[in-house]
Structure 1
Amino acid sequence: MSSHISYSKLEKTYTPDFRHKISTARNTNDVYNAFCYTVASMFNEITDTKKFRESDIDFYPERNCHYELGVNLKCEPSVVECLHTSDLGRILDDMAQTATNRHTHLMKHPERTNSKIMRH
């Protein structure tokens, strides 16, 4: 029987900063960057390396699965194992949904975002 690993501590570490970056995003590129940067940072912490970058993750708010891991992540055995034996997939799905919701809001109301930018 395989053991199930939980990354809830990791989630609690990254969630506040991630939510702040998402909520203060001024455009869809900011949302994309916040999501990809946070996920790359999480994988770097999990694997205890510094080899993953934002470019190793793609964010697709229009798809059912809102993100896709790049070749570097898919080929890393420790990453593949983490995704199959832990709650990391759920954590990434939740983060992607949060980013997608903000992305959708920014797409629907660009005039609000532009007016906020002008005030700052």
Structure 2
Amino acid sequence: MQSVKVIFVLSVTLAVAFANPRLPPGAPKPLDGDDLSKAKELLVTTLAKLATGDGPNYQVVNVISASSQLVAGSLHKFEVELSNGSESKECTVKIWDRPWLHEQGEATNVKVQCKDESVLEKTW
């Protein structure tokens, strides 16, 4: 009888533990709702700043997926469709924000990797 109770308690504990799986600390978190809206604003703002220098003038056509990850700062990763005015491309955009490096001009690092193209990387 005692072993039946132990098995029952263990079963209930496992059911509760796996009913609401959580991401481990530091794992990428898929974004939706308000978090996705804020991330899209960050993407549009970052691409606009990239265009002010000698970078390309990309416009967001479609956000396929977005995630955020807490690392040394915050890392946003986007799978997107971008347009440069004449054609659309599927690209991966990574925005790594480290606010404590603002004074050194290294707070934001952006990497854009479009299919069949080399990686574009800028830091400011």
TM > 0.5 between the two? no
Q: Which structure has the highest strand share of the two?
A: 2
TM-score range with shorter-chain normalisation?
0.3 to 0.5
Normalised by the length of structure 1, the TM-score is 0.32
Q: Which structure has the highest helix share of the two?
A: 1
Ranked by relative contact order (alpha carbons within 8 Å, sequence separation 6 or more), the top structure is 1
